[in-house]
Amino acid sequence: MRSPQWKVYDANNKYVASTKDTEGASLLMSLYGTGATIRYDHRQIVWTEGVDGIAQHPYDIQTKVITERLYGGLLLKTGGK
C-alpha cells in the first residue's frame, strides 16, 4: 500500500503529516501558518502558506492552484516524450 502523496511541512521545513487529498493537506497546513508548505511526495512544493495565499475552507482555491501546477506542466512531466 502506497503512503499518501500530499505531505505537509511546517515553516521550519519539518515534515509533520501526509494526506490522501489536497483539502486535508490544506487544512493541516493552515494550522501551521505562514511558511508551511504542501508538497507532492516530499519533492515538489505546490503551495506555500502566506506566499501563494492563505488556505481557508472550502479549500477550492488551493486545490485549483495545486492541480494546475501539477497537471498544467509546471511541476510534473506527464509521460509525453
- Interval 8-61: pLDDT, tens: 999 999 999 999 999 999 999 999 999 999 999 998 999 999 999 898 888 888
The CA dihedral of 21, 23, 26, 30, to the nearest 10 degrees, is -140
Q: Is residue 56 part of a domain?
A: yes
Amino acid identity for residue 3 in this structure: S
Residue 58 lies in a domain: yes
pLDDT at 28: 94
Asked whether residue 46 is assigned to any structural domain, the reply reads yes
For 67, how many CA atoms within 13 A lie in the half-sphere containing its CB? 9
pLDDT at 13: 97
Instruction: Give the range of the structural domain holding residue 16, as residue numbers without chain letter.
Output: 6-71
- Domain membership of residue 42 (yes or no) is yes
CA–CA dist 30, 55 (Å, integer): 6
Predicted structure pTM score: 0.83
Count of the separate structural domains present in the chain: 1
Q: Is residue 29 part of a domain?
A: yes
Q: Is residue 78 part of a domain?
A: no
For residue 81, is it within any domain? Answer: no
